[in-house]
A and B are shown apart, each in its own frame.
Chain A
Amino acid sequence: MSDLSLDATQLDRYSRHIILDDVGPEGQKRLLEGSALVVGAGGLGAPVIQYLAAAGVGRLGIVDDDVVERSNLQRQVIHRDADVGRPKAESAEEFVADLNPDIEVEAMERRIAPEEARNLVADYDVVVDCTDNFPTRYMLNDACQIEGVPLCHGAIYKFEGQITTLSPDGPCYRCLFPEAPEPGTVPDCATTGVLGVLPGTVGCLQATEAVKVLLGLGETLTGRLLFYDARELSFETVPYQRNPDCPVCGDDGIDDLAGVDYDGGCGVASD
């Protein structure tokens, strides 16, 4: 692979990557040939989409079933006032087109169904979990584990965030949180509020992990959960291990999603 495969405009656009040790023209080509599925185009999805598009990740899938509301604009920085009422996936697609014409976007205005989850994630090199609900979060974990696709997870609450990377050869989300909480027992941003810049920080860390996965660079957060407290501006690392009895990635883990009740507590039916 040589830098001749990048045209003059790309050499200019990505010059700070190209001159960077451990990325270079080969790494940039890898990003341009790479793909990422971003699930959720809200608080976390906005910076993830922004930075993956700017970095030149060649194909971005963007899934969101919601429309832009004015109350989103305090933190969802890819959407504009004029986008209020538009589907977030459509608004995000337009943002990417304006930012970087190198990027092919597949905008999906829907919530992922269990029947399509495995095929959908398998079509990408990396998946970024920017969801705001547990059923989709557990579904992504399960589908990515079965299909062997890395998943960069992030979640936010008030002033704090959690980030980890779920690799095919590492522990999964269920190894850390075996089952989803009962609906309504864990508050969301709409009921508690959230610091506007918080998803920017957390989403940038997720994007960092996704780029590293695509480049095969450095050490990811596999087996480590990074806890971020914006009030204290502190980070804490929580190590966790693979559970041999995990119903998804354990020794007798599932190989399809048919037995998982995503409408309930995301429990996995035992044989």
Chain B
Amino acid sequence: MEVTVELVGEGERTVSVPADADYAAVVRELGYSPHEVTVLVDGSPVPEDAPVDADHVRVLRLIAGG
């Protein structure tokens, strides 16, 4: 299946993942570890091990610096 990903700060792109993929697979397709980001669907985070059931997600990176 194809998922449109809006990676905050880096623009939008489309990734292809298997039909039974979880959100962690989407994140890995982007080149990130699930530890580094949160995946938002309609403004709420979804568990990384949940099966993908949205065709549009927003991915926000965690940043640490202060």
Among listed B17-25, B39-47, B49-57, interface-contacting one? B39-47
Q: A177-B62, A178-B45, A188-B65 are in contact. List 18 more A-B contacts (CB 8 A).
A: A40-B66, A45-B66, A132-B65, A132-B66, A133-B64, A155-B66, A156-B66, A157-B65, A176-B45, A176-B60, A181-B35, A185-B33, A186-B35, A186-B63, A199-B65, A199-B66, A240-B45, A243-B45
In the assembly, what is the distance between CA of A134 and CA of B36, in Å? 12
- The verdict on A175 contacting chain B, using a C-beta distance below 8 Å, is yes
> Which residues of chain B are near A156, meaning CB under 8 Å?
63, 65-66
Q: A42, A186, A239: which contacts B64 (Cβ < 8 A)? A: A186
CB interface residues, A 39-72, toward B, < 8 Å: 40, 42-45
Question: Smallest CB–CB gap between B46 and chain A, Å?
Answer: 10
B65 & A189 in contact (Cβ 8 Å cutoff) = yes
Given the contacts A176-B38, A181-B36, A236 and B62 also touching, CB distance less than 8 Å: no
Docked Cα-Cα span, A38 to B61, in Å, equals: 24
Instruction: Scan residues 148-201 of chain A and give those whose CB is less than 8 A from a CB of chain B.
Output: 154-157, 160-162, 175-178, 181-182, 185-189, 194, 199
Q: Report chain A residues within 8 Å CB of B45.
A: 175-178, 240, 243
Q: Give the number of chain A interface residues (Cβ < 8 Å).
A: 40
- Chain A interface residues (CB < 8 Å from chain B): 40, 42-45, 129-134, 154-157, 160-162, 175-178, 181-182, 185-189, 194, 199, 225, 227, 229, 236, 238-241, 243
Residue tally, chain B, CB below 8 Å to A: 19
Which residues from B are CB-within-8-Å of A189? 65
Whether A43 pairs with B38 at a CB distance below 8 angstroms is no
Q: How far is the CA of A266 from the CA of B39 in the complex (A)?
A: 19
Q: Which residues of A contact B62 (CB under 8 A)?
A: 134, 177, 181, 186
State whether A241 touches B43 (Cβ < 8 A). Answer: yes
Does A236 contact B36, Cβ atoms closer than 8 Å?
no
Asked if B65 contacts A236 (CB within 8 A), the reply is no
Closest 8 CB pairs of A and B: A132-B66, A157-B63, A181-B35, A189-B65, A156-B65, A185-B35, A241-B43, A155-B63
Closest chain A CB from B50 CB (angstroms):
12
- Give the shortest distance, in Å, between A20 (CB) and chain B (any CB): 30
Interchain CB contact under 8 A, A240 and B66:
no
- Least Cβ distance of B35 to chain A in Å? 4
Question: Which of A188, A227, A240, A241 has the most CB atoms of chain B within a 10 A radius of its CB?
Answer: A240
B60 neighbours in A (Cβ, 8 Å) = 176, 225, 227, 238
Q: Which of the residues B9, B33, B44, B66 comes within 8 Å of A229, measured between beta carbons?
A: B9
Closest chain-B Cβ to A138's Cβ sits at a distance in Å of 11
Asked whether, in the complex, the Cβ of A160 is within 8 Å of the Cβ of B63, the reply is yes
In the complex, what distance in Å separates the CA atom of A157 from the CA atom of B36? 13
